[in-house]
Structure 1
């Protein structure tokens, strides 16, 4: 997959929403989608980060992106209904959705997980993905070929001690993707999971503070997978979990 070479402007005319678009993998994915012609909707909680990505896309000659400042921790279904209405008014459809935003919380024994941490992680990593996907399904159905990418993790496929709420939330993410993929198997929509693996991001650094980050792949290194799953001509995967660092 790392040998995948996308065609120039293969995303022209496509509209793609990226959550957590202000930094790390989400930022790089948004930039890459814009470079290949997509109109990108940047969703995140830190406005200055989103504005920086916005400015970079314009500086590189990309289509003007849209900015959606939204903290998933406090967002309600009404916020996502409003988002869907705004996208329909501005773009008329949605061709891609990358669920990238996530909360790690503190790594600790299961018996020591606080109710507050549990609820926060589930709100950001599970509930928000349910709310936003459900709200955007009508727009995704309007696309001739829509792709929804959920971000999973190795601890969402096999539980690991001390990864508690985060690991369990990723098991839920995996299940959500598989339910959607099965329900829409014979439709124009594709639902898949992508496991980025150990990548040089702030979240990774918080989980492994003693790790030598220079040995990790950068977000740019794993982008072929994010581009491939948005390629409506070549990608036919449905209900699959891909590993960006297989």
Structure 2
């Protein structure tokens, strides 16, 4: 897999782009030449990203950003985003479904319904709505690439992580089904386990942890960007971003 893909002329939609791993995926993709459609709720973070991409563009002439303030619980807004991309570019080359929420770490029986529903709305329903909105656009690309952010929590199912673990298991199942549906097309769909990373979400989940012991999100993002390469052949797999390896889901049918 090409460690530094050339994304010149390619259009990439990145959700959760105002901070953490999504911020640096957007930044790295722009540096590789992509036109980045950066989606997030936090306008300030998007503007900071835009400033950095503009500064990089001034130096290298590569990459630009379009900022889209959007909450992924706004389902009609997701539909409008797909329509706007179609009107402006006619296709989408790369989807990075990175946005997600942790919810609350605690016993399942004590989780409030509104917390559980918010986790599922953002982490599962929002991703499905995004898939539905951009699937035709990715099929219009000569080498559509979908990167769906997951977590080791989907497989570990540790105590007190129920809502988040369930949401990530569900979104992996969506990605695998989508990959199987599109395996005979140029579209490649893979999930990513970023591993423990120095992000605000990780600090919320593990408040006693020393963040200096974790890799910076820029490092993890750099490992993920090659999944957008037009030369990628893998689909329907999970990518371990820390180890930079693909893991198979092969099961008896």
- Give TM-score scaled by structure 2 length: 0.92
2:11 counterpart of 1:15 = yes
Report deviation, 1:88.
Answer: 1.3
Contact 1:113–1:164 (8 Å) recurs in 2: no
Please state whether the residue corresponding to 2:104 is helix, strand or coil: coil
Report deviation, 1:98.
Answer: 0.4
- In the alignment, structure 2 segments of 5+ residues that lack a partner are 244-253
Equivalent in the alignment of 1:228: 226
Equivalent residues in 2 for 1:1-246, closer than 5 Å: 5-7=3-5, 10-61=6-57, 62-73=62-73, 75-76=74-75, 78-233=76-231, 235-246=232-243
Query: Distance between the aligned counterparts of 1:105 and 1:118, measured in 2?
Result: 7
Report deviation, 1:64.
Answer: 2.8
Report deviation, 1:14.
Answer: 0.3
Contact 1:148–1:191 (8 Å) recurs in 2: yes
Query: Distance between the aligned counterparts of 1:81 and 1:99, measured in 2?
Result: 15
Contact 2:196–2:215 (8 Å) recurs in 1: yes
Query: Distance between the aligned counterparts of 1:121 and 1:214, measured in 2?
Result: 28
Runs of 4+ off more than 4 Å? none
Contact 2:26–2:38 (8 Å) recurs in 1: yes
Bigger mean CA offset, 139-148 vs 223-232: 223-232
Query: Distance between the aligned counterparts of 1:31 and 1:229, measured in 2?
Result: 15
Query: Distance between the aligned counterparts of 1:64 and 1:244, measured in 2?
Result: 25
> Could you say what the CA RMSD is over the residues aligned between the two structures, in angstroms?
1.2
